[in-house]
Amino acid sequence: MRLSILDYVPVDEGLEAQDALAASLRLAQTADAAGLHRYWFSEHHGMPAMVSSAPELMMARTAAATDTIRLGSGGVLLPNHSSYKIAGNFQLLEGMFPDRIDLGLGRAPGADQRVTAALNEEKTSQLPYGQKLGDLLGFLSGQHPSQSRHAGMQALPRTARIPQTFVLGASGSTAGVAAQAGLGFTFAHFINPGPQGAEAAAAYRSAFQPTVFGDKPSVVVAVFAAVGETDAEAKQFADTFHLWLSHAESAQPFDRLPSLETTRNHDWSIQERMVRQRNEGRLIYGTAESVASQLRELGQAYGTDEVMVNLMMPGEAARQTALTSLAQALEVTPQAIPA
């Protein structure tokens, strides 16, 4: 089974942004050495506990410090950016790091209303997602519909390959878009752990049309994971995750990822417990062997051999240990470094 990472670049309690950035690079280097397939960065804005606001910058730095692992966005949030600018950025990355660049595209703004307004205040209007996606694919491939106002335009630099492009989904509504355009499809099981994900993956696979972007379906399922050396330790990591998540999607998010000690001393409110109960399915946790077994089951449900985990666990050492032990449990094989 292929194992990949989605990194929010969390800032641990007591540390600063530069510490999180350094820890992220070290984790990516460990992932590269262990043979993981992809390392993706999110785009979040206005959230001090998560540093990754510009996936392209994270990708460039990390690609330069690793050898074989693919670097990608999970994802670039299309409403916030010019389609032409995104295409140019990722073509440039592909030129610098050939056949190692993924472009994952999301349709949400990834911020609250005030931050979203600040990101888009110079725009007179928002283009529909479908139109922006079509324009972006045209700028990457040079193949716009003949009636397009951008016909004949292609983002530069031109490269031997187009970055591997994925549509990100959390409800299934974008599965058909990915299938018709010949793109990969990544489902955020960590947002919506219900049956919709597996159903969307099946629908995507059956409707897939080969294009210049891909000749066969590619499904990735992404989920939060916490790995402990014992079940008891894994439970502590799960508690910390749920404490963070109970605030992350509220009006009062934590400005740091809580520590184990903070979590142990926390007096859970009724509201926090209710939110935790709703979110239980979004996290897989246990020992490495247990999590590996659950990931295999998840991959089987989605019909894929690639799973992507988001290790929102407190402490760099814990994330490093979780990655290496999980790679071993899944029997991931390190890749040969190109000559």
- SS3 breakdown of the chain: % helix, strand, coil, rounded to 5? 45, 15, 40
List pLDDT tens digits, range 304-332: 999 999 999 999 999 999 999 999 999 99
**What would the mean pLDDT of 28-50 be, rounded to a whole number?**
95
pTM, two decimal places: 0.93
| Whether 72 contacts 106, CB under 8 Å | no
Q: Which CATH number characterizes residue 265's domain?
A: 3.20.20.30
Confidence of residue 109 (pLDDT cuts 50, 70, 90): low
Minimal CA–CA distance to 312: which of 1, 4, 5?
A: 5
- Rounded to the nearest integer, the mean pLDDT of the chain is 93
List pLDDT tens digits, range 227-264: 999 999 999 999 999 999 999 988 889 999 999 999 99
- Least confident span in 24-28, 124-128, 148-152: 124-128
Residue 334 lies in a domain: no
Residues 304, 218: Cα–Cα separation, whole Å: 8
Per the structure, how many domains does the chain have? 1
Residue 2 lies in a domain: no
Residue 273 lies in a domain: yes
Residue 337 lies in a domain: no
Query: In this structure, which amino acid lies at residue 297?
Result: E
Residue range of the domain that includes 276: 10-14+19-329
What pLDDT, on the 0 to 100 scale, is given for residue 147? 84
Residue 199 lies in a domain: yes
Residue 136 lies in a domain: yes
- Residue located via tokens 């999590």: 291
Residue 245 lies in a domain: yes
What pLDDT, on the 0 to 100 scale, is given for residue 124? 67
Ranges of beta strands (E only) in the chain are 2-7, 38-41, 70-73, 76-77, 101-106, 164-169, 184-188, 219-227, 283-286, 306-310
Residues 96, 203: Cα–Cα separation, whole Å: 35
Residue 151 lies in a domain: yes
